[in-house]
Amino acid sequence: MSIRQFAKSVVFAVVVLGVAITIVGTDIGVAVAKNIFTMSNTQEFGTIDPARGTDYTESYGMLNVYDPLVFPSPTGKIEPKLAKSWTISADGLSYTFELRQGVKFHDATELTAEDVKFSMERILALKDGYSWLWSGIVKEVTVDGPFKVTFHLSKVYAPFLSTLPWLFIVNKDVILAHKQPGDFGEFGDYGTNWLAVTTNEDAGSGPYTLMAWDRGREIVFERFLDYWGGWPHGDKHIDEAHSIFLQETATVKTMLRRGELTMVEHWRTYPDYQDMAKIPGVEVLTFLSPEEMSFKINTKRPPTDDIHIRRMLAWAFDYETVIQTLEPGSGPARGPIPASIPGHNPRVFQYHMDLDKARQELEQSKYYPDVPTITLVLPTGLENRRKMAVRFKEKLEPLGVKLDIHIEPWGRMTDLATTVETTPNIMVTSVSSNYPDADTYLNCMYHSRGSGTWMSTEWLQDPLVDQLIDQERTTLDPEERAHIMNVAQAVIVERCPDIFVYVMPLRVAIQDYLKGFTYRPVMSFYYYFYDWWFEK
C-alpha cells in the first residue's frame, strides 16, 4: 500500500515535472526565437523626451519611439514620413502638410493634426532640446482639418524643411493625461515630469516603444507590432533593442567577441575597429559622416591674424598622410561643408602639402622672420588629433615656426572659445550637421552672430560672409540659393580661416547576421532599428 502510494506519487511527480519542463521549455523556446539586439553606447541616456533630447544617444532614443513629419534619405534629401505631402506658399512663409491617415500611437489612438500643432507648441514653450531651430521663426501652427496642418513662419527660412526631422510628434492626449502642475497654464508642466521619470511608457507612434530603462546602465526598446509602416521583413525584425552604457572599449571588444553585443557604436578609435574586424562573424561598416575635422584658426589673434601665416599653415599641413594613414575611410575635405551635405560646393580651392609654397607665404608675412609661437589646443582623449598635431609640428619646425601643443579638457576648450583674447591660434575640433543643409555649418561657424562658441573659433566676422549667409537663408529659389552658398564657400576658403582636413568616417562594428544598416547624413538617424533585421 505504502509502496504503491509511493510509486504512484513518484509517477505523478515525474508527470508533473515533465509537463513543467515542457511548458518552461516552450517558453524558453519562444524567448530564444525572439530577435534580441544589443548595442553599446559611450554615454548615459539623459532623456528621450522629444522636446528635451539633443545628443547622439538621446537622438536615437527619440527617433525610434517617435515619428517626425519628414525623414532624411541616405543622400540627405527630405522625404515624407508622417506627412504624405506638403506645399509651400509663394512668399515662403507658410508650409502646409497633408498627414498620413491611420497612424496609431502606442496607445492605439489615431495621430491627427492636433498632435502636430501640440508638439511644435510644446517644444517652443519648453525652450529646450532642438527648439532653437524654430524659436523666433515659427510664429503659429494652424489646424486646417483633421489631417492637415500649416506652419506659419515670421520670416523666410530656407532650410526649414531640412530641420523638420527633429520635430517628433507626441500624443497630445497622453501628455495632457500625465500633466502635473507647472509653468504653462492649462498645459501644466507639458508632461515633462512624467517623461523624465517613466521607464516603460512613452507618448509616441514610432516603430519601437520604451520597454525598460535602468538609468545609467541600459535602455530597452520593444517592437510596436501595430506600426503604421508595417514590418516588411516579418519575424526577422528586431523584437527587443538593448542599448547598454559601456565606456571601456576593452569590455566592448570582449562582449562583441562573445556575441553579447550585436553592434558597437561609432565612438571608438580606428585601431579598436581594426581589432573588432578580426573577430570572426564581425563586420566593420564605414561611411562618410556629416562631420568635418578642421584646424580652426583664430583670424583675430597674432600671428594668425595675418592671412599669409594662415596660408603658410594650410600649405604646411600633411593632408595625405593624415587621410591615408591616420583615418583610412575618411574623405578629403573641400571647403567647410562635407561633400555628403546638400549645398556643398565641390569646386572650392583645397590646399595640399607644399612646403615651398608655405615658405613663400611665410616670407610675405609681416611677422617674418620672428614669427611668434603659435598655440594649438586640442581636446583630451582624441588620439588622432594628437597625432595630427605632432605631425604638423614636425612639418613646421624646418620652416622655423614654433607650434605649442596643449591638450585640454573639452569643458575648458568651450570656455576658451568664449572670447577672442582667450581663443588660441588654432583649435582642433569637428563640427557636425544638425540638419542636412549647408546652412547648418555656414551659420554656426562663420556668421558674426555665432561668435563665441567652440564652433566659431575662427572669429571670422567678415561683413561679406555675413551678408551672403543672410541672403542664403532667405532665398527660396533652390538654384539661386545654391549659387549664393557656393559663393559664400568660395569667399570663406579665400580668407583661409581653417585648415580643412577631412570628412570624418563613421564606423560601426556589427555581427554579420544584422542586415539593413542604412546611413543618413543626420546625427543618429542611422541608428533606426526599423531599418534592420536578422538573417541567421
Partner 1 sequence: MSTRASHHQVTTGLNETRWMIIKDRLGRGWYKFRRNPISLVGGVMVLLCVFLAIFAPYVTPYPKHAGAFTDFQNAFQAPSKSHWLGTDALGCDVFTRIIFGSRISLMLTAVVLGISVPVGVFLGLISGYMGGKTETVIMRVTDVFLSLPALVMALAICAAFTPSIDKAMLAVASIWWTWHCRLVNGITRSIKTEEFVQASKVLGASPLRIIFKDILPNCASPVIVKITLDAGFVILVGAGLSFLGLGAQPPAEDLGTMISFGAKYLPERWWMTVFPSLAIFFIILGFNLLGDGLRDVLAVEEGV
Shortest Cβ 412–partner 1 spacing (Å): 8
By CB under 8 A, is residue 8 in contact with partner 1? no
Q: Which is nearer to partner 1, 43 or 380 (CB)?
A: 380
Shortest Cβ 396–partner 1 spacing (Å): 8
Instruction: Specify the pairing of strand 426-431 against strand 282-297.
Output: antiparallel
By CB under 8 A, is residue 372 in contact with partner 1? no
Q: Which is nearer to partner 1, 57 or 384 (CB)?
A: 384
By CB under 8 A, is residue 136 in contact with partner 1? no
By CB under 8 A, is residue 406 in contact with partner 1? yes
Q: Find the DSSP H helices in 365-523.
A: 383-396, 410-416, 439-446, 463-473, 478-495
Grid coordinates of 260: 553579447
**Residue 398: burial class (beta carbons within 10 Å; 0-12, 13-18, 19+):** exposed
Q: What is the DSSP letter of 112?
A: -
By CB under 8 A, is residue 321 in contact with partner 1? yes
Between CA 23 and CA 16 the distance in angstroms is 11
CB-based contact 78:165 (threshold 8 Å)? yes
Single residue of 114, 409, 453, 518 touching partner 1 by CB under 8 A: 409
125, 124, 106, 114: which is closest to 186 by C-alpha?
125
502, 480, 72: which is closest to 329 by C-alpha?
502
CB-based contact 252:261 (threshold 8 Å)? yes
By CB under 8 A, is residue 390 in contact with partner 1? yes
The residue with cell 526577422 is 236
Q: Which is nearer to partner 1, 226 or 404 (CB)?
A: 404
By CB under 8 A, is residue 277 in contact with partner 1? no
By CB under 8 A, is residue 269 in contact with partner 1? yes
The region of 80-88, 288-296, 382-390, 465-473 touching partner 1 under the rule CB under 8 A is: 382-390
For residue 431, the SS3 value is strand
User: Between vectors from CA 41 to CA 40 and to CA 43, what angle results, nearest 5°?
Assistant: 150
By CB under 8 A, is residue 394 in contact with partner 1? yes
Q: Which is nearer to partner 1, 85 or 324 (CB)?
A: 324
The region of 31-39, 50-58, 157-165, 383-391 touching partner 1 under the rule CB under 8 A is: 383-391
By CB under 8 A, is residue 387 in contact with partner 1? yes
Single residue of 354, 383, 477, 494 touching partner 1 by CB under 8 A: 383
Which residues of this protein are in contact with partner 1, per CB under 8 A? 249-250, 269, 271, 275, 321, 325-326, 380, 383, 386-387, 389-391, 393-394, 397, 404-409
